[in-house]
Structure formats: structure tokens, C-alpha cells
Chain A
């Protein structure tokens, strides 16, 4: 299964996820976000807006590749991929 790794910033909103091994089925990044939403209701709206687009200041990497399709999250996640969900550095 693919493994999801989160920025620690997200654990302050979803403390139940901290320390857990987050294993998800392969598919697209959108599928991964949907699986994370089932694990932690509300998660998807932190990462994406209500149209399913990746928020501007959020980044997702599949292995070493930064997400290409920020509108539909159609990038492919393989059976052994690692998916990193992190904040794009900004702010003060």
C-alpha cells in the first residue's frame, strides 16, 4: 500500500493521526485525499478548497515529484508510493 506522511502542522488539527502509519490504496492523489477524509473527517477541506483544488499554499509530493495537477489531483499514486502532504512555506 502507499504510505502518507503529513507535515506536523496538520497534527494540531487532527491529533488522532499523529504517530499512526497512514496506509492507503493506490490510485490518484484525489483518491488518497478521499481516503484521508474517511480516516479524519474534515481533512480534505484543509488540503483542498470546496472545488477539490489543492490550496495555494499546500504542496503534495508523490515520492520525489511535486504534484502537477493541482486542479483535479489526478497524479498517479503507485502501490508503494510515499505521498507527502506539506505546507508551502509562506507567511510570518
Chain B
């Protein structure tokens, strides 16, 4: 059980540490800078921060002294020749965005998430949809070509024009608002480092079982309500996926169009939303480390409003794989609360939970969500919360 929480915010990296029964937050680096994600490498204890400078681009920063000092790491860059297919954006010259799918040179638009394999590999998810991997502790990163060249997004554009079709849409979550696909979730199977799941806004879930050489879609059973074909193979807007570390065939997904559970390693998904209890729309999901049937969500009010339902903030928990959900409200504000909790802003550590909102509130539970305390009221908008 961890006594430290790493918090990425719009204006810096914060750390909250447990002293006695209190959690004490403090600014720990990157003052004034956008910090999309902060995480600890379990193999080296290095802390990594994924920065989004408004002016200066996306940058990797790391600390080898528990957050006392931070330095720029070797930076992730898209290699020469990396292109992706996209429809034209509406512009002054082309206000309706008319025109065929064309290829664009890929440049780094956002560093969004980081994950670690059991053998020490480091993975970084980015916009516009590149998965980068390091096998030397983060000294260098390479674009994963198997995923970048996947047939579902147009095939190999390094050596030709590919197949001319992309089924990957986009997200406006990049630093500059450019509409492009983004990898926000990377899960490496603790049993087998060759098995990797990624989730992409907006495409869906893909799996590799050969260490990232080849990938296949894992979207069977997902449904969407914004495409003509609700069961289309591609175009799903997974908001976040998580698996149970001790039983990794249990995989959870908070999707734009509901909550989905898989008991077979993402081979198939089952919708387990319960809209009458407010469990449907949201961004993050957390899974119990030992019981893959137990998960937590922070529901929001539909994609039209995206904040706490009825001004009352709650966490939803299931302990039976989504058959039933219970709202956990004890200690959370129940009046005039309009918190929005982003996809990386719910953390879990052995029965402890913590989440942060874009209104700068940080909440912690020591008892699996039964009761909550507010640890901070006035942080900058919170992007990520991870125990470390």
C-alpha cells in the first residue's frame, strides 16, 4: 500500500504524502507547466512526468531523486517518414473541410500515458496515435511500427501510400487541439510481457501477443451510439482501460458509450452500464489488484454535460463484475459539486483510492471507497493521479 500520490496538473507536478493519518500535498516540480501524467517506474524508482508546454511542445521529464529535482529526458520524436491518414481540417481556405483523405507528416502532439512491462520495458502513448517503446530504461524511444503501420489506420505509409483508408478517428485532446488519434491506455500483462493492450481515442482496443510486432482489434461486444453501425469494428471511444494485475483476463473499460467488462482478456466485452444508477458515462476506471470482478468508476453526467450528476459527486463500485453497482458518497460533496474527473485521475493501491478533478479537488479513500476525505481544494486542474 503506497503512502505517496503523484499528481499531474495543468500547472505543475504535485506530490501528496501520508503523514500519520493526514495526506499532505505539495508542489514537487514543473511550476506553471502542463503535466499530463506522472508515474514511477517500478524497476528503477525513476519518476517520469509527461509535460505539455503550451508553447514549447511535449517533453519528457524525469527525476531520480524522488521528485526533488527534474531534468529533461531524451525526447520522443516521430521519425522521418512517419505519416498518418486524415481528413482535412476545416480552415479559412477550406471552411467545410472538404477533400479526400490525405497523409500528414507526424509530429508529437501530446505525451499522454506511460506504462512499464515486467521486464523493464517502458511504453509511452502519444497523439497522433504512436506507441513508443524503450528497452534501455528510457535513454531512447522507438516508434512501434507494428501498430503505426496497422491496416486499420492505413497500412505502411513509410514505404508507400498504404491502403488509402483509415478507421481511426481523432480526439481534440492534443496540446494544440489538433484532431488526431491518441493512445491513452497501455496495459502490459504481468504474466507475459509479450501481451500488450492499448486503447485509442478514437479507434478502440488493440492487442499484441508477440511483444508489439503484430496487433489485432479487440472490440467485439463494444457498442457505440454515434456511428451508423453501433457494432462497427472500429471507431470506439475507449476513455480508459485497466486490468487486474493478479488476474489479467479481467479487463475493464470506461467508454464514451458506457461501461464494459471483459472476463476473457478483452477477446469479448459485455456492457455493464446501469444508467438508472448513474453508471454509464465517465472517464476513469480502477480495478482491484486481486479481484478482477471489483472495479471503481467516477461517473459523470452524459457526454453532453460531463460533470458530477445532479451536483453530487460519487464513486461507483461493483464487486460482481458489473452485475450490480453501489454509489459511494460518504465524505464526497453532495451539493454544488461539478467536478470532472479525467481518464488518468483515479488511482488505486491495495484498497486505497485517490482521484482528482478539474476543479482542483483531490479526494482519498483508505477503505476501498467506503469513506472519503478531501486532501486538497485548490490545486490546478488535475490530469493524473497515481500512487507511487
Contact = CB atoms under 8 A, between A and B. Distances in A.
B86 to A, nearest CB: 16
**Would you call the interface of chain B mostly helix, strand, loop, or mixed?**
loop
Interface residues of A, number: 19
A57 B72 contact: no
A45 B55 contact: no
A13 B55 contact: no
Contacts of A50: 77-78, 107-108
Contact of A58 (B56, B59, B78): B56
B57 A49 contact: yes
Contact of A91 (B54, B72, B108): B54
Interface string B96-137: 000000000101100000000000000000000000000000
A13 B73 CA distance: 12
A88 B55 CA distance: 8
A45 B56 CA distance: 8
B107 A90 contact: no
Given A42-B72, A50-B78, A90 B105 contact: no
A42 B55 contact: no
Contacts of B59: 45-46
Interface in A1-26: 9-10, 13
Nearest to B10: A92
Interface of A: 9-10, 13, 42, 45-47, 49-51, 53, 55-58, 87-88, 90-91
23 contacts: A9-B55, A9-B56, A10-B56, A13-B72, A42-B75, A45-B57, A45-B59, A45-B75, A45-B77, A46-B53, A46-B56, A46-B57, A46-B59, A49-B107, A50-B77, A51-B105, A51-B107, A55-B55, A57-B54, A57-B55, A57-B176, A87-B56, A91-B54
